Amino acid sequence: MVKTSNSDLYDIIIIGSGPAGCSAGIYARRAKLRTLLIERFAPGGKLLNYERVENYPGFPEPIAAFELAKRFNDHVDAFGVERLSAEVQQLDVSGPVKRVITSEATLETKTIIIASGAAPKTLGVSGEREFEGRGVSYCAVCDAPFFRDQDVAVVGGGDTAVEEAMYLTRFANRVYLIHRRDKLRAAQDLQDRLLNNDKVDVIWNTVVQEIHGGEAGVEGLKLYNKKDDREFNLSVQGIFVFVGFSPNTHFVPAAIGTDEKGFVITNENMETSVMGVYAAGDVRSKNLRQIVTATSDGAIAAVSAHRYIDENSRLWS
Ligand code: NAP
């Protein structure tokens, strides 16, 4: 429920505490701006769903993803960024004083940085919703231990699917990676490691048509091989879906331009179509979604917001 207005005016409100939001917070506080970071769940964003990170500069030994998320957030706290745990419901960006309407309060700010990330996409097949939490999962790190010595399927051919499939081999008996084409999208070294793993079978040119099961959960999948025009069943107790992400933009008003998939469009300064509103990280329309590009976006967004505040001080006097 929306409470009454907080009269304090923030310089920057950052939505999201993943790598982009944290980086923005650090840069904003270095510029001595009054900064609030809003997070709806645990601090860390999507990083909390991964096991380890091996491509963030400075960590030649892979670092646990939750540890990197913690370090980002400790860094934010060390710089004195204010925090609020709340769900952002709506933005009013029509004037120089912008309003962020959350489940806890309505807040006022000169600028907003949208760093709300993206959520896993679903397959949209029969049985997916019914068996979510009972064999259907979108997070291997969260759920892999439940499938010790069982057979599981992973759907997708990108970095996430391949990394998570390899993680699952530590627990599962067999891991079937089901991909709709005959070529993976994942980075080549990830592909090499996957294809050399004895516990993994890749099922090419195939899509999931149905997930079926019983009282205890998932029992199998109905699959369709597009190349051979053939339907067949696969017996598994779990299915992990990694078919990309949709942006977390339910609160973003139409005035802020998005691309055809709903990702927020910015220029190279992270400016959106509305002055004083910026986007950073996975929520942004861009080609390369990595921790390193998210932290870069966050820094650029905070510097751009600082410049806008400096150049437009008359708006709030
Ligand atoms: P992604 O790169 O968009 O890949 C999604 C995969 O799912 C693709 O292989 C796609 O097939 C498949 N797919 C999409 N819709 C499908 C459907 N309805 N049914 C079956 N398959 C479907 O997503 P991601 O792997 O989650 O990666 C997202 C971003 O994060 C990427 O930029 C990635 O590089 C980055 N990332 C990086 C790392 C890392 O560097 N360590 C780790 C994880 C993620 P097609 O190939 O046929 O399109």
Task: Report how far residue 256's alpha carbon sits from residue 310's, in angstroms, rounded to the nearest whole number.
Answer: 22
Atom 4 in ligand 1: which residue has the minimum CA distance? 158
- Kindly state whether residues 137 and 84 are assigned to the same domain: no
pLDDT, position 2: 36
Query: Which domain-ending residue is among 241, 263, 292?
Result: 241
pLDDT, position 7: 54
pLDDT, position 1: 34
200: domain range?
A: 122-241
- Residue 251, CB-side half-sphere exposure with 13 Å CA sphere: 25
- Kindly state whether residues 202 and 291 are assigned to the same domain: no
Whole-angstrom CA distances from 175 to 88, 89, 182, 199, 243 are 38, 39, 18, 6, 16
pLDDT, position 46: 85
For residue 205, the CA-to-ligand 1 centroid distance in Å is: 15
pLDDT band at 264; cut points 50, 70, 90? very high
Q: Dump pLDDT digits (tens) for 125-163.
A: 999 999 998 999 999 988 999 999 999 999 999 999 999
Share of the chain above pLDDT 70, in %: 98
Total domain count, the chain: 2
Q: Which atom of ligand 1 is nearest to the CA of 120?
A: 26
- Kindly state whether residues 235 and 189 are assigned to the same domain: yes
Q: Dump pLDDT digits (tens) for 197-207.
A: 999 999 999 99
What is the CATH number for 140?
A: 3.50.50.60
pLDDT, position 270: 98
Cβ count near 57 (within 10 Å): 7
Q: Dump pLDDT digits (tens) for 285-294.
A: 999 999 999 9
Q: Dump pLDDT digits (tens) for 6-56.
A: 458 999 999 999 999 999 999 999 999 999 999 998 888 888 888 889 899
- Kindly state whether residues 236 and 271 are assigned to the same domain: no
- Kindly state whether residues 77 and 149 are assigned to the same domain: no
Task: Report how far residue 88's alpha carbon sits from residue 157's, in angstroms, rounded to the nearest whole number.
Answer: 32
- Kindly state whether residues 65 and 209 are assigned to the same domain: no
Q: Could you tell me whether strands 217-225 and 230-235 are parallel, antiparallel, or unpaired per DSSP bridges?
A: antiparallel
- Kindly state whether residues 195 and 89 are assigned to the same domain: no
Query: Residues with Cβ within 6 A of ligand 1?
Result: 55, 123, 155-161, 163, 180-181, 185, 207, 242-245, 288-290
Is residue 4 scored above 50 in pLDDT? no
Q: Is 275 part of a structural domain of the chain?
A: yes
Catalytic status, residue 22: no
Longest dimension (CA), the chain: 69
Catalytic status, residue 143: yes
Q: Is 2 part of a structural domain of the chain?
A: no
- Kindly state whether residues 235 and 127 are assigned to the same domain: yes
Residue 205 and residue 180 in contact, taking contact as beta carbons nearer than 8 Å = yes
Atom 9 in ligand 1: which residue has the minimum CA distance? 157
Q: Is 309 part of a structural domain of the chain?
A: yes
3-state secondary structure (DSSP) of residue 201: strand
Is residue 88 scored above 50 in pLDDT? yes
C-alpha 147, offset from chain centre: 24
With a threshold of 0.85, does the pTM exceed it? yes
Q: Which residue among 289, 291, 293 is best mutated to probe the pocket of ligand 1, counting the most ligand atoms within 8 A of its Cβ?
A: 289
Q: Is 3 part of a structural domain of the chain?
A: no
- Kindly state whether residues 234 and 127 are assigned to the same domain: yes
Catalytic status, residue 139: yes
Q: Is 1 part of a structural domain of the chain?
A: no
Q: Which atom of ligand 1 is nearest to the CA of 159?
A: 25
Exactly one of 11, 22, 143, 297 is catalytic; which is it? 143
Q: What phi and psi, each to the nearest 5 degrees, are found at residue 145?
A: -60, -20
